Amino acid sequence: MLAAMVDMMINILLFLLQLYGNSAITIQPNPDLELARSAAREQVRWAVSVVVSRNAVRIADNDVGAFPAQNRAPNEQEYQRLVDVLRVQRSAAQARARDGVAPKEVVVQADKRLSWDVLGPVMRASSDAGFENVRFVVAVTGGDAD
Amino acid sequence: MRRRARLSVDTPEVNLVPLLDMVSLLIQMLLVSAQFGAFAELESQVAGPGTPEDAERLGLEVRVVATGYLVSWTVDGERTERSLACLDEGCTHWPGPGLTALAQDLKGRHPSERQVVIDPDPGVPFEGVVAAMDAVRSAGKAPLFPDLVVAP
């Protein structure tokens, strides 16, 4: 009797391991982070991660600012902190890279309801820190974007 | 005659209970960290100073404003502009299909062009920006203007 159960559990385990292995970055369901929908199909690749939820900006698990809570642009100090943390993360990623080349891309998970007042400066800060490209994580739709 | 007593041989059974414990713990751990939604990425380049001027001859630009999209491009050295209004009052439905149709028309006339500059106004929601990016980069599987440059 137990053998059948073990078979079933091992199948579930393999399915979950495969699911786990496919994701380059972790996207946790969060009511403050509702991703925009898109018909894009490009798989998310690993890069320095910036999460801009409705409450805060997190860069590689560091809380960097709470200005999204007021849906406003960062002030000068907050902006400088964004640039500094991004520079540190870029250096760390460069040190980890096998070829020693600094990364040029950052992956941004942003809430779709946030205004460009918040996200524009985050993009500008990424550029100031040396990241030329920004890749936005989106939720995949069946066809046309909603 | 004495009968020989039969030896009863028990088939040894593997104790599966510890294995089940371990597997169910692993399943719980993976279920907690699994992500079941499907995600993708939209790649864009951050516009630097002078990047819009670097755009090729067509110079396609989409301004995302509170009421919809303002699309502009160059024809014979002169800028042409077209406005695409949102499909509802509060701009919850962005005019993506209209923008795709316009992009298809422009692509048909300039097949070698690949770049588009997206220029969002400060107050617009991010979903309007993504809808614009989505509408101009491709129509179904046919690429339109896949090189997205976003003005921060």
Residue of A12, A28, A38, A82 for testing the chain B interface, max B β-carbons within 10 Å: A38
Delineate the domains of chain A, giving CATH numbers in brackets. Answer: 26-140 (3.30.420)
pLDDT tens per residue, range A101-137:
878 889 999 999 999 999 999 999 999 999 989 999 9
For A8, A13, A108, B29, the CA distances from A4, given in Å and listed in that order, are 6, 14, 44, 22
Partner A contacted by B99 (CB < 8 A): no
Delineate the domains of chain B, giving CATH numbers in brackets. Answer: 45-150 (3.30.420)
> A42 vs B133: CB contact, 8 Å cut-off?
no
When CB atoms are compared, the residue of A13, A115, A124 closest to B124 is A115
- Determine the Cα–Cα distance for residues B52 and B66; give it in Å rounded to an integer: 22
Report whether pLDDT(B53) > 60.
no
Q: What percent of chain B has pLDDT over 70?
A: 89
pLDDT at site B140: 80
- Determine the Cα–Cα distance for residues A40 and B140; give it in Å rounded to an integer: 10
pLDDT at site B38: 78
Report whether pLDDT(A25) > 70.
no
- Determine the Cα–Cα distance for residues A34 and A65; give it in Å rounded to an integer: 19
- Determine the Cα–Cα distance for residues B144 and B129; give it in Å rounded to an integer: 17
pLDDT at site A1: 73
